[in-house]
Chains A and B, each alone.
Chain A
């Protein structure tokens, strides 16, 4: 599960996604408050945090949909927002974002032609991938929720992007399909694609190579699942998140740590907060 993209570059590969002191303010609300990130190519990153922690805003800035109010974001070495770079990025929004009256093939064909990939081969290949080829002529309206989710993913992948941002891709997706999605993400990563998945479902986190914990617009911890658990001194990732947030493992503010590693965890939390 460790770095699979090593065959491409012998020395430490240049990061595919980079954020330096990235900030976004909406009026009085500081949605993203100074995020530094460097995501290596060919790896899957999980962006975890509660609702309202700034995950979507961070992804929108990285994907070139929102302009940062401070700091900068780079994709494949190009400073974002950059319009030409958008053709090399895949973005799956939280909403379904499909045209309900259009068929599966028409929806996919539309986004494909905007992304510069019109050939039938690419469309059929991605339809095979999400197992919707036999539904090509069905209007999106008549698909089940899971199928629409698959179509939405297909629209994100049709142009074979090098960097993919997925905002809660498995919300409302049944377990079997979720397994398929992850298997596919893994295949993409193996071919050198960098993937950042935002989620608030902790049980998906272990499928990622590395995790980024976010809270109140800041990165409060980074590392593999095992590293984060160890640093927080907890066995559960959820508890690790709470501890790294400066809370105890039950979500109570600071103070007397109920777990044996509590004091140590608090210290670790502060250290990682400072480093982030």
Chain B
């Protein structure tokens, strides 16, 4: 092994980058823009006001609930608005309002409300929703239930004491109570971008070596396959390093920019709450990128054109994004998918980055040790795999 030749290959990669501004932009500007965009959307999502159409089939008793809902809606910062209070037989109209978007949810107060309450049974309210966006509707349903807990006092039979409902207060172990979705996702940005870009760039870059004949010329020199793979890892690893540092700074810090002319004030950087060591997070992201470099080299064997390298994205990157615990926790995946998730490098990186950045875990944490060990193992595995795909019949 010759450090001189490894450095020569790494330097060659850096020289190529320096003359390719677009690729540099792709590696640095794109992750920052996407992270900023996601952070913005996730942390400043406008709270939705749920428009409710109430259908009262229960007459006078039901009116008390309708009034209570209307009162709740007029409170400042209320999450609901009463779009219409309809009388008996109003269900079709409420449904029509939901169809044409004038209401989000319909509530039907049943005819037998009084009967049930007097009998000490729980009356059933029917909630009508569009049924096209389960996640959003679950959210609206939650809003409604919280309000209904207050409204329930109106249902206490006359003469009885209203029940005393406990107040709920949230406390958290790791991030602060009002941490946003962006805080939780920030660690993943770190891992994912490095993985994605490094994979794509090495794949294309190595494919060019193969089809352009430079690999043939490389192999006509005393360089070894291991030196080529190491040189590549060093070259692209350096870029991944700079990228991860830029992203880390961007995610952890935030600079406020005051209003300029028509532009509202805004901030650069996410200023995310992270507790753990940025250095450890960086090591995890770097190990992941090293695997990506060599995965790119390996997969370039199976591509004949640059377009075919791009075709590996849906095959290699998308399943990892779906299964690695970014969107759904790995533990809740069906058994077969969980087994797949357990061999994906991104799974370990996501877990490690979360442990470190959200929970402040350090090297003494068993979970972090496992993640580092597995990521290291995967990186070594791909280094070997990549060197084997460089066809040299010489040794």
Contact = CB atoms under 8 A, between A and B. Distances in A.
B214 A97 contact: yes
B395 A98 contact: no
Contacts of B8: 110, 113-114
Interface string A111-140: 101111010000000000000000000010
A66 interface: yes
Interface stretch (A3-11, A86-94, A265-273): A86-94
Interface stretch (A99-107, A187-195, A203-211, A212-220): A99-107
A83 B394 contact: yes
26 contacts: A63-B220, A64-B220, A65-B219, A81-B394, A86-B220, A86-B222, A87-B221, A91-B217, A93-B220, A97-B214, A97-B217, A98-B212, A99-B16, A99-B212, A101-B20, A102-B15, A103-B19, A110-B11, A111-B217, A111-B221, A113-B8, A115-B221, A115-B222, A116-B4, A139-B19, A155-B217
Interface residues of B, number: 26
A274 interface: no
B19 A101 contact: yes
A178 interface: no
A96 B213 contact: yes
B318 interface: no
Interface of A: 63-67, 81-84, 86-87, 89, 91, 93-103, 106, 110-111, 113-116, 118, 139, 155
Nearest to A109: B8
A215 to B, nearest CB: 25
B35 interface: no
B223 interface: yes
Contacts of B5: 113-114
B393 interface: yes
Contacts of A67: 393-394
In the A-B complex, the 6 residue pairs with the smallest Cβ-Cβ separation, listed nearest first, are A95-B213, A97-B213, A67-B393, A91-B220, A113-B8, A81-B394
Interface string B204-233: 000000001110111111111000000000
A97 B216 CA distance: 8
Nearest to B221: A114
B64 interface: no
Contacts of B11: 110
Given A64-B220, A97-B213, A111-B217, 7 more contacts: A87-B221, A89-B220, A93-B216, A97-B214, A102-B15, A111-B221, A115-B222
A55 to B, nearest CB: 15
B393 A66 contact: yes
B12 A102 contact: yes
Contacts of B223: 114
B19 A86 contact: no
A211 to B, nearest CB: 24
Interface string B1-18: 000110011011001100
A244 B366 CA distance: 76
Given A67-B393, A97-B216, A101-B20, A84 B4 contact: no
Contact of A81 (B16, B224, B395): B395
Contact of A93 (B20, B217, B221, B224): B217
A86 B393 CA distance: 13
Contacts of A99: 12, 16, 212, 214
Contacts of A64: 220, 394
A64 B218 CA distance: 12
Interface string B370-395: 00000000000000000000001111
A94 B394 CA distance: 20
A22 to B, nearest CB: 14
A214 to B, nearest CB: 21
Contacts of B12: 99, 102, 106, 110
Contacts of A87: 221-222
Nearest to A61: B393
A165 to B, nearest CB: 9
Contacts of B16: 99, 101-102
Nearest to A68: B393
A137 to B, nearest CB: 11
Nearest to B220: A91
Contact of B15 (A65, A66, A95, A106): A106
A95 B208 CA distance: 12
Contacts of B15: 101-103, 106
A255 B392 CA distance: 45
Contacts of A155: 217
A153 to B, nearest CB: 12
